[in-house]
Structure 1
Amino acid sequence: MKSLNRGKVEAQKLLHLCGLDDVIDLELDFFVAGLITVGLDVLLIEEEMANCDGKIIFGEKKSIIKVNSKIQFGQRKRFVVAHEIGHLLMHRNFELPEDTFANFNVIEGMENTLRNGKQELEANEFASELLMPENLFLKEAMEKKFTPSLIKELSEKFRTSLTATVYRYLQHSQLHPICIVFIENGRVKYWKKSEDLKVWMSDYNKLPPPSDSVAMEYLQKDYDFIYTLEEKAQTISKSTWFKLNQYDEDSDFYEYCIPTKRYRTILSIIWED
């Protein structure tokens, strides 16, 4: 997809210009300050913002990236900053809305659900490539069994949120096939699966998740954490989320949920061993 390629290529170009393979060990405020050496004069400011996680203000000579100081997790702030750098490089001549939580969750094929969806998709892909370079990500994830522990390990390695790490994992067809379902305010907003996961999703768009799903357990517990890391991969039936045709037998799948109480969202990851 053209927009995805653009974000990825621009991130790779920037790393090359800066003489870096990755930014894993760099604090992004130092990285942003150093962009002046490649002709980008940018000021990074953290301040309290209402209903907004990040924004960019373009200036003729200097631009300003603002990040909401109320964001609790450093991994999330890093993604917001990287996302805004993507806007800086690719979208100077566009009128962009303020970035909110929903903007950072858009995935390929879902860009039409947002205003300026294409630009948000490009900025997200830029941020993913900047923070989790493809070659390094694949090196860390390849030939490893998919588990919640693997996502946690990758998240810690790249200093990214669990959610951003899962989205990055889904982008790579070389890795274990998974399906993700994004649930907001108790309703399924969208889903996407790896091409190699040969299943047919039941129609849950705009509906609550299935009554026997792990996602429903989290809704019933008001988004509180239910399981320890070792227990987060809960066994479910294939028929919980997927349609069975006349030749299918029901079988065991696994479901792992990442709830975010502040935003009343759940990211559900479903896979088969």
Structure 2
Amino acid sequence: MRSVNNARLQARKLLDDCGLDEITDLDMDLFVAGLVVAGHDAILIEEELSNCDGKIVFGNNKAVIKVNSKIQFQERKRFVAAHEIGHLLMHRNMQLPDDTFTNFNIIEGTENTLKNGRQELEANEFASELLMPENLFLKEAKGKKFSPLLIKQLSERFKTSLTATIFRYLQFEQLHPLCLVFIENGKVKYWKKSNDLKVWLGDYTKLAPPSDSVAAEYIQKDYEFVYKLEEKAQNINKSTWFNLSEYDEDTDFYEYCIPTRRYKTILSIIWEN
């Protein structure tokens, strides 16, 4: 998608204009204050927002980026701020809605699930590249066995949420093939997989996840964390999520879930060793 590639290029250009390789160790309010160097006058504030996680207000001379102070985790606040910076650079003359949780959980190919989905996808891609630059992310992830622990280590390295980190991981064909399934209010909303993962997902869109899936366990437990880190990769059958042809063997796969109880969502990650 051309617009997605442009968003990534915009993030790299911004880093170059600011003379930075990454912003991992910078507070986001300081980074936003310094954007005047790149020709963008803005400030970032945290305040309690109703029914949204972030928003941008364009003025005649200055933009105000607002991040909901009620967000619990700093990693999520960083991504919200980076997302709004993407709007600042790419969508100044467009009518934009306030950004909600759902806006930050779309991936290429699923942006049609949201109104203004293209702009939201672009802002997400911008934020991913800004917080997790491609060259640095691949340096940290390439050649390492995929596991929940690896995603935790990457999220700590770049100060990003587990969800943002796993979405970023999926973008690179050089890394381990994955299938991601996003579940909201007990129903599969959308899914996406690596091209190298030669499987066919069952027809679960708008339906509950399979009864023998790990995702179903989390729904039954009201989105509480069922497994500890070393147990998060649970063994499942290939047929749990995927259709088998007459020539397929029902081999071992793994499923790892990231639940968000507040929003009743689950991100299910499925892979084969």
TM bracket, shorter-chain basis: over 0.9
Identity score, percent: 73
Per-residue deviation, residues 215-249 of structure 1 (Å, max 9, x unmatched): 00000000000111000000000000000000001
Quote the Cα distance in structure 2 between the aligned partners of 1:108 and 1:23: 24
Trace 1:88-107 onto structure 2 (pairs within 5 A): 88-107=88-107
Q: Does 1:267 align with 2:267?
A: yes
Aligned match of 1:156: 156
Quote the Cα distance in structure 1 between the aligned partners of 2:219 and 2:132: 31
Q: Is the 1:3–1:121 Cα contact (8 Å) retained in structure 2?
A: no
Structure 1 gap segments, 5+ residues each: none
Q: Is the 1:55–1:99 Cα contact (8 Å) retained in structure 2?
A: yes
Q: What is the TM-score of this pair, normalised by structure 2?
A: 0.99
Paired AA for residue 246 in structure 2: Q
Aligned match of 1:254: 254
Per-residue deviation, residues 145-199 of structure 1 (Å, max 9, x unmatched): 1000000000000000000000000000000000000000000000000000000
Per-residue deviation, residues 83-107 of structure 1 (Å, max 9, x unmatched): 0000000001110000000000110
Aligned match of 2:70: 70
Deviation of 1:59 (Å): 1.1
Give 3-state SS (helix, strand or coil) of 1:246's partner: coil
Trace 1:214-253 onto structure 2 (pairs within 5 A): 214-253=214-253
Quote the Cα distance in structure 2 between the aligned partners of 1:3 and 1:197: 25
Deviation of 1:38 (Å): 2.0
Quote the Cα distance in structure 2 between the aligned partners of 1:38 and 1:11: 12
Aligned match of 1:179: 179
Paired AA for residue 39 in structure 2: G
The aligned length equals 273
Trace 1:1-273 onto structure 2 (pairs within 5 A): 1-273=1-273
Quote the Cα distance in structure 2 between the aligned partners of 1:103 and 1:147: 26
Quote the Cα distance in structure 2 between the aligned partners of 1:113 and 1:159: 28
Quote the Cα distance in structure 2 between the aligned partners of 1:236 and 1:51: 37
Paired AA for residue 142 in structure 1: K
Quote the Cα distance in structure 1 between the aligned partners of 2:162 and 2:123: 18
Quote the Cα distance in structure 2 between the aligned partners of 1:43 and 1:141: 33
Q: What is the TM-score of this pair, normalised by structure 1?
A: 0.99
Quote the Cα distance in structure 2 between the aligned partners of 1:65 and 1:123: 13
Quote the Cα distance in structure 2 between the aligned partners of 1:51 and 1:239: 39
CA RMSD between the two structures = 0.5
Paired AA for residue 227 in structure 1: Y
Paired AA for residue 91 in structure 2: H
Quote the Cα distance in structure 2 between the aligned partners of 1:7 and 1:160: 19
Paired AA for residue 110 in structure 1: T
Give 3-state SS (helix, strand or coil) of 1:181's partner: strand
Quote the Cα distance in structure 1 between the aligned partners of 2:149 and 2:4: 28
Deviation of 1:129 (Å): 0.2
Structure 2 gap segments, 5+ residues each: none
